[in-house]
Structure 1
Amino acid sequence: MSTIDLNDVDGFWAAPIEDRHAAFDTLREAPGLPFFPEPDLGWAPRGPGYYALTRMDDVLRVSRDTRRFLSSKGVGSPVDLPPELAEFHESMITMDDPRHGRLRRIVAKAFTPRSLSAVMDNVTQVAVDIVDDVVERGECDAVADISARLPLRVICDMTGVPASQHGFVFEQTNMLLGIQDPEFAAEHGDPLRIMFEASQALADLAHELAAHRAEHPADDLISRLVAAEIDGEALTPAEVAEFFILLVSAGNETTRNAISWGIELLTRYPEQRATWLDDLDGVTPTAVEEIVRWASPVMFQRRTVAEDAEPIELSGQELGPGDKVLLYYWAANRDPRHFDDPARFDVRRSPNPHVGYGGPGPHFCLGAHLARREMTVIFRELLERVPDLEITGEPVRLKSALVNGTKSLPASFTPGERSDRRTGARRAA
């Protein structure tokens, strides 16, 4: 226990995946709740510390109890952001009721499966395009050429971002979620400045898109967000921008990393690939859920006990006002009390009550249905057209305590032919 330091990005979070899982197994089986001091980040005063929640039951209980466990104090770090930055980064995931409920009701009206039916249909064509672009080569970087392209293209298409700006969105979201990785942060220095500048750049793009759609409505999500109302109340321009940033960053990055992990897992467990290939229709739904459980793309979120809350007991530990808890989805998704042989990758696993899209309650991922659709389509396309796709080198991991990311994944496969199912001119991706 004394050797585990969840604040050590260069040590603990750079260690092999298996070592980190073993550490979380130790934390999960220890009595009570493990407590850690807050990291010294230099740009914010250190707070009182936090408790790490690694058991599924604790994560579920806190996720449901949004009255006593608040998101508005911050969700992505144990350290409180400076007030001016926290206000700038405010979005649905950092709001509590009644503000959260109001915003989610308005957004949900524009984000239903029915309203996004055209987007869902487009996912298939995007996946075909992506595989067409690599199928004749026999090798690729599975992140850059496959998993990063699909959610980026889909989200940009659904929000009306022109193709000329796709690369810009990709760069800014990498900066926003990769500030602990030297590749993205080293040359820019101050992480606060990185976060602010990337967020501001995406907000400016959102304002530009929203202003144009207010005058020229189209069949895209930005148009629906601009027009959406509940009881005569609409989103403000700032709220449209906040949701856009959340969508293109969290929605893009998480699905990208889940797909990358799925491709890696099919190499690591060829017998599971064979099981999936034997019954594509029957296995795909459970395989997609198992990939999300295994990957847990967002490894934690934070909650803070409300100042007016009565004392709360969690796994024998009494929590009081101001106490911080980190909900480690990555650890909960391997809790043996909820999963048989949790370290096994099993594409037929059922039931699979994972929290890879966050815990139950009002903060459950609004885009889970879209993420499932994207993964379903791309893996069917890969398994049908490049069934022997496999990883040929060591994955390059994102250095992060928050995002379980992969930056590069060299892969090879038997070259094939471009699809004859494609229709129309090839769109730039």
Structure 2
Amino acid sequence: MTTMSADLSDISFWAEPIERRHAGFAELRDRPGLPFFTEPKVAMFPPGRGFYALTRMDDVLTASRTPALYTSGQGGTVVTDMPPELLEFTGSMINMDDPRHGRLRRIVSRGFTPKMLDALTENVSRVATEIVDEVIERGECDAVADIAAKLPLTIICDMMGIPDSQRRLVFDRTNLLLGAQDPEYVPNLDGLYLAAFNAANDLANLMRELAAERAEHPTDDLTSVLLNARVDGEALTPDELASFFILLVAAGNETTRNAISWGIQLITEHPDQRALWLADLDRHTPGAVEEIVRWASPVIYMRRTLAEPADLSGQRLEAGDKVLMFYWAANRDPKYFEAPEKFDIRRSPNRHIGFGGPGPHFCLGAHLARREITVMFRELLTRIPDIHATAEPDRLKSAFINGIKRLPVTFSH
């Protein structure tokens, strides 16, 4: 590996200040070719061959648009090579290529039609109102646990028909699944993958039990819809439904939660942007939501593996080489964004890839996530417009999720 100040394979880099991350990725973008990093050794699995980092928007777009060359079937969310059965269990269609990916996505898309999502609008608004109702008299709270985490978790559990008694389990297991690099969740990193597997297994068992109940007593929830969805005569198997549930609660819960959390932090740090937003909520909310997602980039990267040799940015890549598409870095590429480190709710154009790059793996829940963020901030800025953080965010130690674990806030009413 060429000597660089930013070692993306070192977990300590991801715990450094955000400004340090900005500078490190700026350096990598300016280098010719593609920087290469060794993989950290992970217990249970042999050390991998390392990875190339894609930090420029053009490179990430190229990889995203050519899925037959830059493949996902050997792993989309982890750098380490893992058995295919484990990949599909924990990541569902994120870790698949066509035609299997296309088949599964076509089936589950039946639960994410515009009609289905429009039906959720009233529920999202109701839950957001209830969240503010619960905290408004207190004048202070933890914005993550009491606000940001509650909305997507409640919406997804309502969608799937998860009973109230099981929602704490969903919250705890998704925290562990996506926060396994953080010692708060997994103190011994040698047990990282076992802990993540056990968390995924608990979620899968929850869905298997619910699916068996819905098979006997169907309702109008998403679990029943997916159980009965047919595309070209094909339906989801019980294992596919369980794996998709793991993906849905992890991706749909954590990413929206962290976008909302970072949004609260950003309007704290940028009072001018808060004032601008408050001056005309209708006009500025759509742009503010897109800028929050760009700036936060809740999912930091996705992995692809070369199916055959190729050239990218003057770098020769061989079959089997791994590349990590760093969305966080691409969303700060000065070729695409003027003053990219700045939080600007009027930014236009804002062609970010906070929901992934173009292509078959673009986030299935992007429309729902945008709606949740929009509704939550309308509720906050209408009812407690002075909400602001009183301490630095307690950030998740992770190379994969740009997360906040705790964020104390105060407000008047």
Query: 1:78 is paired with a residue of what secondary structure?
Result: coil
1:399 to 397, 400, 405: 397
Deviation at 1:116, TM superposition (A): 3.0
Question: Equivalent residue of 1:89, what SS?
Answer: helix
1:261 pairs with 2:262: yes
Aligned residue for 2:116, secondary structure, equals coil
1:5 paired with 2:7, answer: yes
Matched, 1:177 2:175: no
Matched with 1:384 is 382
Select which of 294, 312, 325 maps to 2:323. 325
Match of 1:194 in 2: 195
Kindly state the Cα deviation for residue 86 of structure 1 after the two structures are TM-superposed: 2.5
Equivalent pair of 2:43/2:191 in contact (CA under 8 Å): no
- Deviation digits for residues 39-96 of structure 1 (CA, Å, limit 9, x no counterpart): 1113211121110000000000100101111101011222112455234324111110
Residue 149 of structure 1: how far off its partner (Å): 0.6
Letter of the 1:243 partner, please give it: F
Distance in 1 between residues matched to 2:276 and 2:9, nearest whole Å: 39
Task: Indicate conservation of the 8 Å contact 1:44/1:82, yes or no.
Answer: no
> Cα offset for 1:109?
1.6
Q: Which residue of 2 aligns with 1:273?
A: 274
RMSD over equivalenced CA pairs, Å: 1.2
- Does 360-369 or 203-212 show the bigger shift? 203-212
Deviations 1:273-292 (A, max 9, x none): 01100110011011000000
C-alpha deviation, 1:188, in angstroms: 8.9
Closer, same or farther: CA 90–283 of 1 in aligned 2, 3 Å: closer
Q: What is the distance in 2 between the residues matched to 1:102 and 1:69?
A: 19
Count of residue pairs the alignment pairs up: 411
- SS of match in other structure, 2:363: coil
Measured after TM superposition, the shift of residue 140 of structure 1 is: 0.6
The structure-2 alpha-carbon separation of the partners of 1:83 and 1:369, relative to structure 1 and needing over 3 Å to count, comes to: closer
Match 1:364 to one of 334, 352, 362: 362
Given that residues 261 and 291 in structure 1 are in contact (C-alpha distance below 8 angstroms), is that contact kept between their aligned partners in structure 2? yes
Question: Matched residues in 2 for 1:138 and 1:90: separation?
Answer: 39
Which aligned pairs between 1:294-333 and structure 2 lie closer than 5 A? 294-306=295-307, 309=308, 311-333=309-331
Structure 1: state its 5+ residue gaps.
417-429
Does the 8 A contact of 1:188 with 1:194 survive in 2? no
* TM-score, length of structure 2 as denominator length: 0.97
Letter in 2 for 1:404: N
Task: Name the structure 1 match of 2:293.
Answer: 292
Mapped to 1, the partners of 2:204 and 2:146 lie a distance apart of 27
Q: In 1, distance between residues paired with 2:398 and 2:40?
A: 14
In structure 2, the partner of 1:67 is 68
- Displacement, 1:192? 1.9
| Partners of 1:180 and 1:399 within 8 A in 2 | yes
Q: Which residue of 1 aligns with 2:334?
A: 336
The sequence identity of aligned pairs, in percent, is 63
Offset of residue 349 of structure 1: 1.0
Q: Deviations over 1:100-121 (max 9, x none)?
A: 0111111112211212333222
- Once residues 188 and 78 of structure 2 are traced to their aligned partners in structure 1, the CA distance between those partners, rounded to angstroms, is 22
What CA distance in whole angstroms lies between the structure 1 residues aligned with 2:230 and 2:261?
37
Matching of residue 136 in structure 1 with residue 137 in structure 2: yes
Opposite residue 4 of structure 2, the aligned amino acid is S
The answer to whether the 8 Å contact 2:148/2:261 transfers is yes
Shift of 1:320: 1.6
Aligned AA (1:356): G
Q: TM-score, normalised by structure 1?
A: 0.94
Aligned equivalents of 1:54, 1:341: Cα separation in 2:
17
Could you tell me which amino acid in structure 2 is paired with residue 347 of structure 1? I
Paired AA for residue 67 in structure 2: T
Partner of 1:426: none
Residue type matched to 1:45 in 2? Answer: P
* Structure 2: segments with no counterpart, 5+ residues: none
Map residues 232-247 of structure 1 onto 2, 5 A cutoff: 232-247=233-248
Label 1:256 to 1:223 Cα distance change in 2 as closer, same or farther (>3 A): same
CA contact (8 A) 1:120 1:370 kept: no
Other-structure match for 1:44 = 45
